Amino acid sequence: MAGNGDRPKVGILALQGDFREHCQVFDELGVEAVEVRRHEDLEGLAGVVVPGGESTTIGRMMVESGLLDGIRSYFYKGGPVWGTCAGMVLAASATTGPRQPLLGLMNALVERNGFGRQVHSFEADLDVEGFDAPFTGVFIRAPFFEDVGPGVEVLSEIDGRVVAARGENILVTAFHPELTDDRRFHEYFLREVCGIERSQ
């Protein structure tokens, strides 16, 4: 899938959270970043990012805006999706915590705030499948996958806790690549999940 015009378009869900940081990175990589607030904004996108923020708030706003069903439909038609932090929670099929709206795009059980509250935020050098050097992950009230099912490829773990994974047309990260100067995860999403060979 590709956007119209000279540059491919990637949509960033812009209801709440750190969507502006993702927009800036994609612009730097030569991709047009589109802020997604309505179902109609999903048209013509080469990929969609569900960013970090507060997962219950984002989930509620997605229901109210029609984007919960909209992104599900986009995904099940083959549209690439990347969930970071809260987006990883929303992408899961089930959560260990209180019930909340979920997209249910990945066969996984997620633990919200799995590494503790915001005061327990930390950085960690991660070994990532396919990366030739460690990636520094920024973890802020980060989730992790407690269990994954068939069709989920684990890309990185901390002490057996899954913090990055992918499926056929989905990528999830428990951390915030957009808060670092390392662009490899954004490039990975564009290349490996969206099928965009050149991002610049």
Q: Per-residue pLDDT tens for 40-68?
A: 999 999 999 999 999 999 999 999 999 99
* DSSP codes joined into one string, 6-31: SS-EEEEE-SSSSHHHHHHHHHHTT-
Query: Which residue range is the domain that position 182 belongs to?
Result: 9-193
Please check whether residue 152 lies inside any domain of the structure: yes
What is the pLDDT confidence band of residue 2, given thresholds at 50, 70 and 90?
A: very low
Active site residue 123: no
Please check whether residue 175 lies inside any domain of the structure: yes
Strands 135-139 and 122-126: antiparallel
d(CA 48, CA 63): 17
Q: In the predicted model, what is the mean pLDDT of residues 132-147? A: 95
Of how many residues is the chain composed?
A: 200
Please check whether residue 200 lies inside any domain of the structure: no
Q: Tell me if the pTM is above 0.75.
A: yes
Please check whether residue 36 lies inside any domain of the structure: yes
Question: The domain spanning residue 169 has which CATH number?
Answer: 3.40.50.880
d(CA 175, CA 74): 24
What is the pLDDT confidence band of residue 119, given thresholds at 50, 70 and 90?
A: low
Please check whether residue 163 lies inside any domain of the structure: yes
Q: Per-residue pLDDT tens for 65-89?
A: 999 999 999 999 999 999 999 999 9
Phi and psi at residue 48, in whole multiples of 5°?
Answer: -135, 135
Please check whether residue 108 lies inside any domain of the structure: yes
Which candidate in 32, 85, 186, 194 is catalytic?
85
Which candidate in 23, 32, 111, 178 is catalytic?
178
Which candidate in 23, 111, 176, 186 is catalytic?
176
For the chain, what is the domain count?
1
Please check whether residue 59 lies inside any domain of the structure: yes
Please check whether residue 153 lies inside any domain of the structure: yes
Helix axes 55-65, 67-76, angle to 10 degrees: 90
